[in-house]
A and B are shown apart, each in its own frame.
Chain A
Amino acid sequence: MRLRVDGKEVEVQEGALLLQVAPVPTLCHHPHTETKGLCRLCLVEVNGRLHPACATLAQEGMEVKTETEALRRLRKTLLEWLALTTDLSQAPELLSLMERYGAEPARWPEVAGRKEREALKDNPFFLRDYAKCVNCRRCVDACGDGIMGVYALTLEDRGLLAHPTTPLGRPLPETPCVFCGNCVQVCPTGALRPLTLEVA
């Protein structure tokens, strides 16, 4: 199957995602979870329309553009908004993307964000520090449908306030959680992190 990516002809196997041929950043997508298409950092232009590269199958004859001026502006702005609302200090990949796209969060007005949330320490193994959470849902999916099928995590609230929580808002030891660590493994921002890494 042949398609064009930024003007160059590329050959791929049937069933390949555009992400496999398009060099674009991504955040919510993870090979072991079913999360995709949420963060929109991997949006590409296909025949003039926007599609998430992580959730779009390559097709014969596609014209894919990965770095138009509009797409660069979108990624830059989105990263700025994330930095504006969320503590990205433990998200090195996002910090380097911000550098790559020349992000300047200060050009936007202040937004009462998610940074103020207090870290939850309700078990001996890891912290849930939702001030650092971008709500990519990888942890929720890893715990539920994606990997474990344990369903100790779900989502709370809507809009900018949406973030992971536990069933009935209980401390983790009172939920079906088996402390497998998959949620910590898939977290891209350090919102879930092992307590062993914390300096006393």
Chain B
Amino acid sequence: MENPSLLPLLDARLPLTEEKVAEAARLARVPLAQAWGVVRYYPRYRGLPQGRLLVDDPVARARGFARLREAADGSYPPLGLEALSPIYLRFNPEGRFVEWQGSLVPFRDFRLPFSLGHGKRLIPPEPILSLAQYRALGGLQALLALLQGRASPEGVLRAVEEAGLLGRGGAAFPAHVKMRTVAQGASPKYLVVNADESEPGNFKDRFLLEHHPFLVLEGALLAALAVGADKVFLYVREEFEAAQEGLQRALSELEEAGLLPVPTEVFRSGGLYICGEETALLESMEGKRAEPRLKPPFPGEKGLWGRPTLVQNVETLANLPLILREGPDAWRALEPKLFSISGDVAHPGLYELPLGTPLGEALRRAGGELGEVQAVLLGGAAGVFTRDLAFPLRFKERLPLGAGALVAFGRDVDLWEVLLGLVHFLKEESCGKCFPCPLGTAVQVEMVKRRERNRALVQDLAETLKGSLCGLGQSAYWAYQSLLEVEGAA
């Protein structure tokens, strides 16, 4: 690390005053202008309501957003979990609480209260929160093999390549390609675990962090050793306080057991959707506004502080121990993927299913009545509506799988209201660095409000958003365009 990072320095001084901002800037050795630009960028430094994230969860909107907001004391449902069940933030003199299915849970203790859904799976259904428990189930063997010289970094890279693991964060980029780029780079180099999941309907990384911290950490350490990273950073969504603490506890246990071969640190994320974009994430770690960088150069070549950096999604890394335990061929035969299934199904939750499972089958597992499904939002905010229940849930298919969110909508839901929630979310989360995205997402909200169906106009909107700097803008029109297709097919 070249300089102390600005974000933790600001965090330590909340609530901020001008003097405290100036002090943090001095300690981070950055101009006051940079620190001020940062303060005026991230909601938590601007004194906006804490715990608020999704301005406007699309499912909440479909279920009467205004009414929900009143019930939520004027704050907002955190993290799009509204697709699971109504959820509110409560502020009282003792602190912040999450109201979930009738009970109040202190915000910092709140974990997703369900186990992994039924079916053949590689990840244990119940939470594994202690090292002893994890080892009893056969965990840590791949890491021990590597530490004891029974396996090699090249062996890990080869296994990932043979398994054909594609990144689970949404882009589905081959994991081994990124890993090899970093492995070939010169030290110092870094691994950043992208644990900034913050998309409506996606809660699989949150689940893994909260329920399976050792699996995530073993995967991260395997990757770090395989590419020769000098340090691991876990960039964790700011609201996942239980996950942050759980990871700290797990790290202490590993360290005490002498099983933490690479220094590993939990970094509190900037708390915005864009912070999950890998280069924006790196900017925020460097103490800047989380805005995407121009690519090339890619992070594998020039990442954190200009050094080779492997940025990998939580679920992607959690698959490494599974690939090494099962062997690439056996893993590949199962191709496990976590699906966040929510909306109008009887048993919303997390399901591990083989890639290629038909959409309808996935919904049935979660108690969906297929005859009652009007459409499914596939992939979250950067997602598409579809009514093709035979669609095989696989990457690189006709429709984007994204990070694996499936939100089902029943017959009585107004999909245009859902869409309005989505496009409002994207407008609020646009960083504003390039031109097409902030302009296009703002125009899009107005178009959706008036239920604009003019194909030529929507086509021009799409063509222009496509020219955005990063994936947020580039995919911002997908939901809109797909809803028109779904309507046309009806």
Residues of A within 8 A of B (CB): 27-28, 36-41, 43, 50, 52, 55, 70, 73-74, 76-78, 81-82, 84-85, 107-113, 134-135, 144, 151-162, 165-169
**Total contacting residues, chain B, CB less than 8 A:** 45
Contacting A81 at CB < 8 Å: which of B34, B430, B439?
B439
A77 lies within 8 A of B460 (CB) = yes
7 examples of A-B residue contacts, CB within 8 angstroms: A50-B467, A52-B294, A73-B464, A81-B440, A111-B446, A154-B37, A165-B40
Q: A37-B294, A52-B294 are in contact. Are A160 and B40 (CB under 8 A)?
A: no
- Compute how far the CA of A129 lies from the CA of B463 in the bound complex, rounded to whole angstroms: 31
A168 lies within 8 A of B464 (CB) = no
A109 lies within 8 A of B452 (CB) = yes
- Compute how far the CA of A167 lies from the CA of B22 in the bound complex, rounded to whole angstroms: 10
A111 lies within 8 A of B40 (CB) = no
Q: A78-B439, A111-B446 are in contact. Are A39 and B434 (CB under 8 A)?
A: yes
Instruction: Specify which chain A residues have a CB less than 8 angstroms from the CB of B18 in the assembled complex.
Output: 168
Instruction: Specify which chain B residues have a CB less than 8 angstroms from the CB of A134 in the assembled complex.
Output: 435
Instruction: Specify which chain B residues have a CB less than 8 angstroms from the CB of A153 in the assembled complex.
Output: 33
Contacting A82 at CB < 8 Å: which of B35, B439, B459, B463?
B439
- Compute how far the CA of A38 lies from the CA of B467 in the bound complex, rounded to whole angstroms: 10
A160 lies within 8 A of B432 (CB) = yes
A168 lies within 8 A of B436 (CB) = no
Q: A36-B294, A81-B443 are in contact. Are A43 and B430 (CB under 8 A)?
A: no
Residues of B within 8 A of A (CB): 18, 21, 31-37, 40-41, 272, 289, 294, 427-436, 438-443, 446-447, 449-450, 452, 457, 459-461, 463-464, 466-469
B33 lies within 8 A of A152 (CB) = yes
Instruction: Specify which chain B residues have a CB less than 8 angstroms from the CB of A108 in the assembled complex.
Output: 443, 446-447, 457
Q: Which A residue sits closest to B35, measured CB to CB?
A: A167
A107 lies within 8 A of B457 (CB) = yes
- Compute how far the CA of A70 lies from the CA of B464 in the bound complex, rounded to whole angstroms: 8
Q: Which A residue sits closest to B474, measured CB to CB?
A: A50
B435 lies within 8 A of A159 (CB) = no
Q: A182 CB to closest chain B CB, in angstroms?
A: 15
- Compute how far the CA of A96 lies from the CA of B467 in the bound complex, rounded to whole angstroms: 22
Instruction: Specify which chain B residues have a CB less than 8 angstroms from the CB of A165 in the assembled complex.
Output: 36, 40
Q: Which A residue sits closest to B42, measured CB to CB?
A: A158
Instruction: Specify which chain B residues have a CB less than 8 angstroms from the CB of A168 in the assembled complex.
Output: 18, 21, 32, 36
Instruction: Specify which chain A residues have a CB less than 8 angstroms from the CB of B460 in the assembled complex.
Output: 73, 76-77
Contacting A37 at CB < 8 Å: which of B36, B439, B459, B469?
B469
Q: A85 CB to closest chain B CB, in angstroms?
A: 6
| Other 5 A-B pairs with CB < 8 A, given A82-B435, A107-B457, A157-B40 | A39-B434, A39-B435, A40-B434, A78-B467, A109-B450
A38 lies within 8 A of B33 (CB) = no
What are the 9 A-B residue pairs with the smallest beta carbon separation, nearest first?
A162-B432, A151-B31, A154-B37, A109-B446, A154-B33, A151-B33, A81-B439, A77-B464, A159-B430
Instruction: Specify which chain A residues have a CB less than 8 angstroms from the CB of B431 in the assembled complex.
Output: 158-159, 162
Q: Which B residue sits closest to A152, measured CB to CB?
A: B33
- Compute how far the CA of A88 lies from the CA of B41 in the bound complex, rounded to whole angstroms: 26
- Compute how far the CA of A114 lies from the CA of B261 in the bound complex, rounded to whole angstroms: 52
B457 lies within 8 A of A81 (CB) = no
B433 lies within 8 A of A38 (CB) = yes
Query: For B33, B272, B429, B441, which residue has the most chain A Cβ atoms within 10 angstroms?
Result: B33
Contacting B40 at CB < 8 Å: which of A39, A112, A113, A155?
A155
- Compute how far the CA of A52 lies from the CA of B439 in the bound complex, rounded to whole angstroms: 18
Q: A107-B457, A157-B40, A159-B441 are in contact. Are A37 and B434 (CB under 8 A)?
A: yes
B33 lies within 8 A of A144 (CB) = yes
- Compute how far the CA of A52 lies from the CA of B450 in the bound complex, rounded to whole angstroms: 33
Query: For B438, B439, B460, which residue has the most chain A Cβ atoms within 10 angstroms?
Result: B439
Q: A40-B434, A154-B33 are in contact. Are A160 and B467 (CB under 8 A)?
A: no
Contacting B467 at CB < 8 Å: which of A27, A43, A154?
A43
B467 lies within 8 A of A159 (CB) = no
Q: B400 CB to closest chain A CB, in angstroms?
A: 17
Q: Which B residue sits closest to A136, measured CB to CB?
A: B435
Q: A110 CB to closest chain B CB, in angstroms?
A: 7
Q: B344 CB to closest chain A CB, in angstroms?
A: 31
A70 lies within 8 A of B463 (CB) = yes
- Compute how far the CA of A153 lies from the CA of B272 in the bound complex, rounded to whole angstroms: 24
B32 lies within 8 A of A167 (CB) = yes
Q: Which B residue sits closest to A162, measured CB to CB?
A: B432
- Compute how far the CA of A77 lies from the CA of B440 in the bound complex, rounded to whole angstroms: 9
A74 lies within 8 A of B433 (CB) = no
B289 lies within 8 A of A155 (CB) = yes
Q: B63 CB to closest chain A CB, in angstroms?
A: 26
Q: B253 CB to closest chain A CB, in angstroms?
A: 39
